[in-house]
Amino acid sequence: MALYDKTAHELHELLTTKKISAAELTADIFSHIDEAENKIRAYLTITRDKAEATAKLVDEKISRGEKIFPLEGIPCAIKDNICTKGIKTTCASKILENFVPPYDATAYKKILAQNSIIVGKANLDEFAMGSSTENSGFYTTHNPHDLERVPGGSSGGSTAAVAGGEAIFALGSDTGGSIRQPASFCGVVGFKPTYGRVSRYGLVAFASSLDQIGPITRDVTDCALVLNAICGQDDMDSTSTAAQIPDFTKSLVADVKGLKIGLPKEYFVKGIDPEIETAVRNVAKKFEELGAEIVEISLPHTEYAIATYYLIAPAEAATNLERYDGVSYGARVDGADVVEMMTNTRTEKFGAEVKRRIMIGNYALSAGYYDAYYLKALKVRTLIQKDFTDAFEKLDLILTPTTPNVAFKIGEMVSDPLKMYLQDICTVPVNLAGLPGISVPCGVTKNNLPIGFQLIGKALDEATILKAAFTYESTL
């Protein structure tokens, strides 16, 4: 197996036993990128010089006999909506095409503190709004499993990099499924932590009450290692939680005996690909064989989740994106006066989907419609959250498909935004409720396209999710 196909924990072992050097590993990744990137197009910026410089430092540290961190010397991709000081951060938007952040996002800083090797900034749907990377202002990323298909989105560049051997792990962000959905399309592990677990400082804001940074990895062990690195309260994000952080590697034990796992009937309705349904039911069977108890449950407000999400997220986005006014940073298109300058800038530099969401958001927030749309959605959000709270009184985990279908063809859905929104049916309820959720690969369809299942946990109980996911993975 090539180095670029290994996991972080395998590579850590090879580095500490001096079987390979960080420089060799970095060279291997970049020679693979030279070959694969023109087909996959996972990256918007590649930071080869920085990567090689870090590799040199890591090798010096190893040769001095110093202990290295679990992710030290491991190549990683950073989604391009996470601020990286001195490295362009575009959000895949023309409006930030030349934006070089003057500061680091906290989660990225924590990855830098591990001395991971930053390979580059990964493509996404513009401002993380989309499920395919087709809304990128620059180009679409291709799914490494089938280049004619999308990698999912919005963290499609990050997941394609990990699946395609162009990074060992990646950071993504998840507002309505943007880590889990592309992870399932690309056959990798993607984790959205509990809201507040990871600081959002330096994550370019889309919908602040829903956004969360999380790991994209090749297996559950790496997922736990990245979570260990990035979680924690941060003075720079008042919504980050002070809750205790366990050592997530302690969850890497194969044991689901006595766990109660719910299967919500609303996630197995018509419209779901039968091959996905079968695969996820087989996962449930496996858990049962291993000693877990499977319970059929109901989350009655599931059918309202998409409508709720597509009012709340655009309302928050409309507000957050007011800052792109051509004044203090980002692109500017001139106009006769200030208002015309701002209007020209936004009209020319935002893509169609971003404009659509700004318009929906401002409409839902405007006088006369606020109560009927925005406030109504906030109340339904309470009901959706309560569905989970009630269910978790008797359960440890909830098991669902991650997506209703596998990776679709590039161009297949671009003309129908609503159809694209319905992609998120299994993932948005989790964000609305602020809960942790993982997507784990569970086989492929007869066309060889990856399938993923989702495990949803109680707030702040990432540990149980990891344990069950690790148990499943150990049976493969």
Partner 1 sequence: MKISEQDIKTVASLSRLKIREEESADVLFQLNKILTYVENLQALDTTNIEPTTYALPMQNVFREDKVKPSLDRELALSNAPLKEDGYFKVPRVLEA
Residues 411-440 that bind partner 1 (CB under 8 A): 417-418, 421, 432-435
Pairing of strands 189-192, 117-122: unpaired
213 lies in the site for partner 1, by CB under 8 A: no
Distance from C-alpha of 201 to C-alpha of 425, rounded to nearest angstrom = 28
138 lies in the site for partner 1, by CB under 8 A: no
Distance from C-alpha of 22 to C-alpha of 73, rounded to nearest angstrom = 5
341 lies in the site for partner 1, by CB under 8 A: yes
Q: Contacting partner 1 (CB under 8 A), which of 249, 286, 376, 444? A: 376
Nearest to partner 1 of 331, 438 (CB atom): 331
The residue among 351, 358, 352, 349 whose CA lies nearest residue 331 is 349
339 lies in the site for partner 1, by CB under 8 A: yes
Nearest to partner 1 of 69, 304 (CB atom): 304
Output the CA–CA distances (angstroms, integers) from residue 339 to 273, 331, 336, 343, 465, in the order listed.
Answer: 48, 15, 8, 6, 49
113 lies in the site for partner 1, by CB under 8 A: no
Q: Contacting partner 1 (CB under 8 A), which of 335, 370, 443, 444? A: 335
User: Tell me, what DSSP letter sits at residue 177?
Assistant: S
Amino acid identity, residue 9? Answer: H
205 lies in the site for partner 1, by CB under 8 A: no
Total residues belonging to the chain: 476
- Using the rule CB under 8 A, give the single segment among 135-143, 248-256, 349-357, 464-472 that binds partner 1: 349-357
88 lies in the site for partner 1, by CB under 8 A: no
371 lies in the site for partner 1, by CB under 8 A: no
Distance from C-alpha of 91 to C-alpha of 97, rounded to nearest angstrom = 8
Q: How far is the CB of 196 from partner 1 (least distance, A)?
A: 5
Q: Contacting partner 1 (CB under 8 A), which of 193, 196, 404, 457? A: 196
Q: How far is the CB of 417 from partner 1 (least distance, A)?
A: 6
Distance from C-alpha of 240 to C-alpha of 222, rounded to nearest angstrom = 23
232 lies in the site for partner 1, by CB under 8 A: no
- Using the rule CB under 8 A, give the single segment among 21-29, 221-229, 291-299, 339-347 that binds partner 1: 339-347
Q: How far is the CB of 84 from partner 1 (least distance, A)?
A: 14
State the burial class of residue 227 (Cβ atoms within 10 Å of its Cβ: 0-12, 13-18, 19+).
buried
State the burial class of residue 286 (Cβ atoms within 10 Å of its Cβ: 0-12, 13-18, 19+).
middle
Residues contacting 135, CB < 8 A, separation 6+: 92, 125, 126, 129, 153, 154, 351, 352, 353, 354
Question: Is cis: bond before 154, omega within 30 of 0?
Answer: yes
Nearest to partner 1 of 262, 434 (CB atom): 434
Q: Contacting partner 1 (CB under 8 A), which of 110, 121, 346, 458? A: 346
Q: Contacting partner 1 (CB under 8 A), which of 123, 132, 141, 194? A: 194
- As annotated, the active-site residues are 79, 154, 178
269 lies in the site for partner 1, by CB under 8 A: no
Q: Contacting partner 1 (CB under 8 A), which of 366, 448, 474, 475? A: 366
Q: How far is the CB of 299 from partner 1 (least distance, A)?
A: 14
241 lies in the site for partner 1, by CB under 8 A: yes
Q: For the segment 50-69, give every residue that binds partner 1 (CB under 8 A).
A: none
Q: Binding pattern to partner 1, positions 297-326, x when CB under 8 A?
A: ----x-xx-xxx-xx------x------xx
State the burial class of residue 257 (Cβ atoms within 10 Å of its Cβ: 0-12, 13-18, 19+).
exposed
Output the CA–CA distances (angstroms, integers) from residue 317 to 211, 241, 268, 295, 444, in the order listed.
Answer: 11, 23, 30, 37, 35
